[in-house]
Chains A and B, each alone.
Chain A
């Protein structure tokens, strides 16, 4: 049983690599449309050409649309597109900071090589899936950071201040807890303009999800604070004239950090799922900014994808893998700290 969770946690390595190196790994830009290549099947990588001759360098043939009605394609043998490692392609920022135009595998001509097919607008599915991994990861990291800060701040101020602040904050957290989370997210999200710049979307999606998710964290942190509040070492520090901020930083934070970190790990899958669901419901990432959610939405719009254009189903596998992986971590964390249920 333990081994399942260990394997699940190991999934983090490929997922992290994919999200970090998404641009480097993808052969073409995730937002490059080609309406003559919609629903093109995965390009076959060939070693043997149509005359039966073997080549050491792998190559691809270009696909041409034969019938637009059922999106059938035929290979054209007039031109050979050799595959190259570290091939030049579109420009991007390697690891988000180094300008580069090298890609792991590709052809010199853009828009020929689609290793995992294309979607309804002729965009590369592999590139979009990997860009979706990157975007989900950004929402996840930003989201759990906000979640951590929000939960610890609210919980700690309720615990330290006590009195009416405590009562008000705890009633408020119960109020947020009592509502259906998705409705709350939608209500908050609907108040924001529908089309936002990319970074704004990342930030606001993360913030909205954190706003809905904080109550368990805050309540737990409050409990931890109440435990250390009257401890001898805190009292001693107070008598020695330490400021409340100093006491919180030096005596309370270290005591509650293990709990807060475990709780963050437990909540992490919710952020991936939340981002995907929001994008799926058309209130998260816009269609041009790739997300697993927007890709999955296209499944409900064209049922032919299920039967004929199966390569568009790849985000399903990725969402499952990401959630499985994060559940592994959250399981590990929650079994480590029994105070999790406090």
Chain B
């Protein structure tokens, strides 16, 4: 039941967030002088009438409130309009870009979370020996390494060693070979961006997990089960790891937001045509409908991430399932 409640809460949040964000984007874009066709007015080869016609076609000659109203009604039918720049439906562009971003984001999130949880627990259990010290040192250094620096560092490595390609999603010289060749080539291109996105997630998760595990270690019940002679593996899995996962699941939501920001930078560095690049170009081109579409796309990604984290938290930690004292 609580899971259904969590889902409905997040869906509601998605609707409210998207509405607010799109309203804000529309309002702000009306403040900006000019529109998508302003730059084309400077082009002497394009006639004035053509531009006016185009404006009429996209409804840009209307006041901003009318534009917003029209856009909202179309949104209700899941039609997010057409991009001025690409002359394609926004929905397909954003969907396409979103899947490309997920190619980087999902593996990074998986590796970062799993690795961070393992390393953090290990760190907390080896607080006082040289392993703990080494991890302390590494995480301090890694914390000062944002994705921007990491990405450029990785590019440096790729340029020097030729182990990895310098960017883009697939080799352009790829012959029309089978799926396996295409897939290995894609993985080869993925290694560096995913690695660069993983490191900050890993460090973040490691820190929280380490602190959480330490807190749980100090709980009296851990000593109690130890005194009762419960098997070490059972202590670790049931009494240590499971309660210690609560904080990391609660912070996984904001983590999704930082992944989106991080992947934007990496997409620019590695020429990966994902959501970040599309958003950036749409912003610079004043392609309002596409910007709004991208914002909705990223909001969906964000809220989905939060929802998954909520459900995982409910499944992992029975304390969160307590409602008015009854489970």
Pairing of A with B: yes
Q: Is A178 an interface residue (CB 8 A)?
A: yes
Summed over the interface, the residue pairs from A and B with CB atoms below 8 Å come to a total of: 113
Q: Is A164 an interface residue, CB under 8 A from the partner?
A: no
Q: State whether B17 touches A319 (Cβ < 8 A).
A: no
- B137 near A306 with CB under 8 A, answer no
Q: Does B194 contact A (CB under 8 A)?
A: no
The 8 Å CB contact of B284, one of A190, A296, A299, A307, is A190
Q: Which residues of B contact A273 (CB under 8 A)?
A: 146, 148
Number of interface residues of B (CB under 8 A): 47
Please classify the interface of chain A as helix (H, G, I), strand (E, B), loop, or mixed, using the class held by over half of its residues: helix
Surface stretch bound by B, among A47-55, A238-246, A256-264, A275-283: A275-283
Checking B20, B25, B148, B258 against A187 with a beta-carbon cut-off of 8 angstroms, the contacting residue is: B25
Contact yes or no, B31 A191, CB < 8 A: yes
With A177-B254, A180-B302, A183-B279 known as contacts, the answer to whether A191 contacts B32 (CB < 8 A) is yes
- A316 to B29 Cα, complex, angstroms: 34
Return chain A residues, CB-CB under 8 Å to B133.
1
The 3 A-B residue pairs with the shortest CB-CB distance in the complex, in nearest-first order: A182-B261, A306-B159, A190-B283
B315 contacts partner chain A, Cβ-Cβ < 8 Å? no
Question: Do residues A281 and B268 form an inter-chain contact, with CB atoms below 8 A?
Answer: yes
Cross-chain contact B156 with A277 (CB below 8 angstroms) = no
Q: Is the CB of A187 within 8 A of B152?
A: no
CA distance in complex: A323, B200 (Å): 14
Known contacts A178-B302, A179-B257, A181-B258; 18 further A-B pairs (Cβ under 8 A)? A1-B140, A175-B20, A180-B260, A182-B260, A183-B264, A183-B279, A190-B32, A190-B286, A191-B28, A300-B155, A303-B159, A306-B155, A306-B156, A316-B149, A319-B149, A323-B144, A324-B141, A324-B144
A292, chain B: closest CB distance, angstroms: 10
- Cα–Cα, bound, A323→B141 (Å): 10
Interface residues in A, total, Cβ within 8 A:
40
Within the assembled complex, what's the spacing in Å between the Cα atoms of A316 and B299? 32
Q: Cβ of A71 < 8 Å from any Cβ of B?
A: no
Chain B residues whose C-beta falls within 8 Å of the C-beta of A277 in the assembled complex: 146, 148, 265
Q: How far is the CA of A187 from the CA of B145 in the complex (A)?
A: 25
- In the complex the two chains form, what is the Cα distance from A320 to B147 in whole Å? 11
CB neighbors of B among A288-342 (8 A): 296, 299-300, 303, 306-307, 313, 316, 319-320, 323-324, 327, 331
Q: Which residues of B sit under 8 angstroms from A1, Cβ to Cβ?
A: 133, 136-137, 140
Q: Which residues of B contact A299 (CB under 8 A)?
A: 152, 155
**Nearest opposing residue in chain B for A272, CB measure:** B146
B101 CB → nearest A CB, Å? 11
Report A1-35 residues with CB < 8 Å from chain B CB. Answer: 1, 4-5
What's the nearest-Cβ distance from chain A to residue B266, in Å? 11
- CB-CB under 8 A from A190, the residues of chain B are 32, 283-284, 286, 291
Contacting pair B143 A181 (CB below 8 A):
no
Q: A4-B137, A191-B29, A303-B159 are in contact. Are A180 and B149 (CB under 8 A)?
A: no
Interface residue? A186 (CB, 8 A) = yes
Q: Which residue of B lies closest to A330 (CB)?
A: B143
Whether B159 and A181, one on each chain, are in contact in the complex, defined by CB atoms closer than 8 angstroms, is no
Query: B20 to chain A: which residues have CB within 8 Å?
Result: 175
Contact status B261-A183, CB under 8 Å: yes
Give A161 Cβ to nearest chain B Cβ, in Å. Answer: 22
Which residues in B have their C-beta under 8 angstroms from that of A313?
156
Does B289 reach chain A (CB closer than 8 Å)? Answer: no
Q: How far is the CB of A50 from chain B (nearest CB, A)?
A: 33
| B252-275, CB < 8 A from A | 254, 257-258, 260-261, 264-265, 268-269, 271
Find B28's partner among A177, A187, A194, A324 (CB 8 Å cutoff).
A187
Q: Select from chain A the residue with minimum beta-carbon distance to B132.
A: A1
Residues of A within 8 A of B21 (CB): 179
Give the residue of A183, A188, A194 whose beta carbon is less than 8 angstroms from that of B260.
Answer: A183
> What's the minimum C-beta distance from A38 to chain B, rounded to whole angstroms?
19
The B126-141 residues at the A interface (CB cut-off 8 A) are 133, 136-137, 140-141
Set of chain B residues within 8 Å of A180, measured between Cβ atoms? 257-258, 260-261, 264, 298, 302
Known: A186-B279, A190-B284. A320 touches B145 (CB 8 A): yes
What are 13 A-B contacts with C-beta separation under 8 Å?
A: A1-B133, A181-B258, A182-B265, A187-B283, A280-B148, A280-B265, A306-B155, A313-B156, A316-B152, A323-B146, A324-B144, A327-B143, A327-B144
